Structures are given as structure tokens and as C-alpha cells.
Amino acid sequence: MEDVLFFIAAIGAVVGAIGVIALRNPFYSVLALVSHLLSLALLFLLLEAQFVAAAQIVVYAGAVMVLYVFVVSYVGGQGEPLASVGPGLGGVGLVLCIGLFVELSIAILGSGLHAIDTDGAKLGPGFGTPGQIGQLLLTKFLFPFEIASFLLLVAAVGAVVLARRRRGIDAPDEPLPPRDRLELTAAEVMRIPRAGSQAESIGLGQEEKEEQGGW
């Protein structure tokens, strides 16, 4: 029974993963990833990690993927044009990754770690329960726990800073060049309009002197 479930979950995960990379429309890719995450949760359950499985579904599939869906619908799910202006890494990439997989498999299966050929150690009673997770988080891994929360705070603030507008909701910030083949500098991408670019802030770039507004 366990083996059957394992195979179902494993195949689901792999199919989902392949779906992510193979589907043209990013919307479909997101959905494939959701299915992949659900399969993965099942695999976690098979490994006796109940809390993590639940967290996976609730947090990852539930929150993060929903966020993804929002952004995909905002940005628009236009498919990629097939012609690529950059290096065509398609064939090379696949070959490289197949090679990587072969290498990793050899490493795993040929490793001297005998324990991986077993089903695992004998488990104590509360293995994988929220109680044990909570205990570990608040005793042994308190510091990473606090850092992780701090990281979440930083990310939230960063997201707000990145995506906000300055002026109005529907007025465009400035007349922009048309959206087609265009080369950009990262500075232009990151620039906060009328707040000065990074270059200006360190003294280079004297073109826009009249825009003195800080924020």
C-alpha cells in the first residue's frame, strides 16, 4: 500500500515538474506546480512529517501559489515568443541537466551511506508532530526561527517598496518607450521615479537636476 502511494505521489510530482517547464502558458505552469506541491505533500506524509506536509499545503500551495496566480493574472499570461534573442540554451540545458541527474543518482546510490538503504531509523512517539516541531523551534532552533521571521518582515517591506507607485493610480509615471526589444540597465529597472537613481545618489549622473524630490 505504501509503495503504491509512493509511486502515485512520485509520478505526480515528476509530472507536475515537467509540466511546469513544458507548458507555454504561465498560468498552466502555476497550476502544474500546485499539483506538484500536493504530490510532494503526500510524499512528506509518507515520510512521517505530518506538520511539514500540512504546512506545505497551507502555506506553499495555499498562500504562495495564490500570490503567484495574482501576479500572473496581473502581468498577463502571454506565452513566450519562440524565437530567442539570447543564447539558445535549450539543447545544452537539457543535456546538462540529464547529466546532472545521472551524476546525482550515482552519488546517491553508490554512496557508502548504508542507512539510505533502510527504511529509516526507529522513530520515537512524537516524530513529526506539531508538538515536536514547536519544541525544536523554540529550543534548539530559536535563532534561525527569529531570523526567519525577520527575513519575512524584510521581504514584506521590500515588496511594498518595489511595487508601489508614486503618483496616482492610473496615470503612467512618465512617457515610456514602447514595449518591444529594448535593452535596459538594472538601474533603470530599479529606479524610483523622481527619487533619483542609485547613480545620482552617489554623485554620478547629473542630467536630471530639477528632480530633487526625496521620498
Partner 1 sequence: MTVAWYLVVSALIFCVGAAGVLVRRSPLVILLCLELMLNAGNLALIAFSRMTGTGDGQIFAIIVMVVAACEVVVGLGIIVALYRRRLPIDVDQLRRLQG
Partner 2 sequence: MSPTTWAWICLALPLAGCLFNAFVGRHLPGERTAGWIGTLAIGLSFVAAVGAFIALMGHSPDDRTFTSTAWDYADSVGVNAKLTILIDPLSVYMMLVVSGVSALIHLYSCVYVWKDRGFVRYFAYLNFFVFSMLLLVMAGNFVPLIIGWAFVGAASYMLISFWFRRTTATRAGIKAFVINVIGDVGLVLGTYFIVFRGSGSLDFLDTFKHVQAAFPPNDGDLVAGCILLLVGAFAKSAQVPLHTWLPDAMEGPTPVSALIHAATMVTAGVYLIARMHPLFEDATAAADVGTVVGCATLVIAATIALSQTDIKRVIAYSTMSQIGYMIMAVSASAYAAGMFHLFTHAFFKALLFMAAGSIIGAMGGEQSLDKMGGFRRALPFTFACFLAGGLALSAFPLFSGYFSKDDILALIGGEGGWHWILYVLGYLGAFVTALYTFRMIFRAFLGPECKEARELRETGHIAHHEHPFNPETYEEEDTDVGFPGPGHYIAEQQWPMKVAMSTLAIGAIFGGLIQVPFVDDLVNVYLRPDFVNDPTYEKVINDPSNGLLIFGLILSAVIAIGGIGLAYVIWVRRPSIAVAFRERFRPLYELSFHKWWFDELNDAVFVRPGATVGRWASNVFERVVIDGLVNGTVSVVRAGSSVVRGAQDGFLRVYAALLLLGLALVALWFLLQST
Residues near partner 2, by CB under 8 A = 86-87, 89, 92-93, 96-97, 99-100, 103-104, 106-107, 110-112
Q: How far apart are CA 143 and CA 67, in angstroms?
A: 28
Residues 69, 86: Cα–Cα separation, whole Å: 27
* Maximal C-alpha separation, the chain: 72
Residues in contact with 138: Cβ distance below 8 Å, sequence separation at least 6, in sequence order: 145
26 binds partner 1 (CB under 8 A): yes
Window 89 to 118, contacts with partner 1 (CB under 8 A): 89-90, 92-94, 96-98, 100-101, 104-105, 108-109, 115-118
Interaction between residue 133 and partner 1 (CB under 8 A) = yes
Site for partner 1 in 38-57 (CB under 8 A): 40, 43-44, 46-49, 51-52, 55-56
Whose Cβ is closer to partner 2: residue 105's or residue 198's?
105
Q: Which is nearer to partner 2, 107 or 162 (CB)?
A: 107
Please state, in angstroms and rounded to a whole number, the distance separating the CA atoms of residues 89 and 81.
15
Q: How far lies 199's CA from each of 27, 74, 139, 156, 195, in Å?
A: 37, 31, 45, 25, 11
Q: Does residue 201 belong to the site contacting partner 1 (CB under 8 A)?
A: no
- Applying CB under 8 A, among 8, 63, 167, 201 the residue interacting with partner 1 is 63
